[in-house]
Amino acid sequence: MQNKELSKQWVYTLFLQLLTQHDRRDNQFAIRFDEELNSVEAELGMKLNLNLSEIHLIANIGSGDSLNVTALSEKTGLTKGSITRVSKKLLKLDLIRRQQFSDNKKEVYFTLTENGERLCRIHDRLHQEIEMRFKKFLEKYTPEQLAFAREFLQDLLNWDY
């Protein structure tokens, strides 16, 4: 029984380390993205000064569907007010376009401009690189271990601590 308690303590300690490491890795991703963004800014001849939430909004707009404020809010977890504020900035930077369809003048939809599509491609490429490295990391585990990890992580996501 003592072994089980010790194992639980180790899992908890590693969980805390994972949370801390996540913040550091987010910062590393931001640095890598900033490097890519700097080269795009040089190519475009303009400073974009975007944060990751704004970049993720561009990526969601670039997902293929024309999305309105409500759909973007639901998809990103940002408030409608935040979507409106960020969209104004992205419109000024010529990264997105506003559209209204002839059958509904009330609804406003967003699509990407050419420059927005470039940023979206960079974002997608970086995420694909991360996913490939993660899957390569997982190659050392058996299907049974991966099934357990999947169940454990799903339970962790649903756990209300």
The model's confidence at residue 61, banded by pLDDT at 50, 70 and 90, is: very high
84 or 51: which carries more pLDDT confidence? 84
Q: What is the pLDDT of residues 97-112, one digit of tens each?
A: 998 877 776 788 999 9
What is the mean predicted confidence (pLDDT) over 70-82? 91
Question: In the 8-state DSSP scheme, what is residue 131?
Answer: H
Q: What is the pLDDT of residue 33?
A: 72
Q: What is the pLDDT of residue 1?
A: 56
Q: Identify the structural domains of the chain with CATH numbers, from first to last.
A: 46-158 (1.10.10.10)
Alpha carbon distance 11, 5 (integer Å): 10
Helix (H) / strand (E) containing 136: helix 114-138
Q: Does pTM surpass 0.85?
A: no
101 or 95: which carries more pLDDT confidence? 95
Give the burial class of 113: count Cβ atoms within 10 A of its Cβ; 0-12 exposed, 13-18 middle, 19 or more buried.
Answer: middle
Q: What percent of the chain has pLDDT over 70?
A: 97
Whether residue 72 is predicted with pLDDT greater than 80 in this model: the reply is: yes
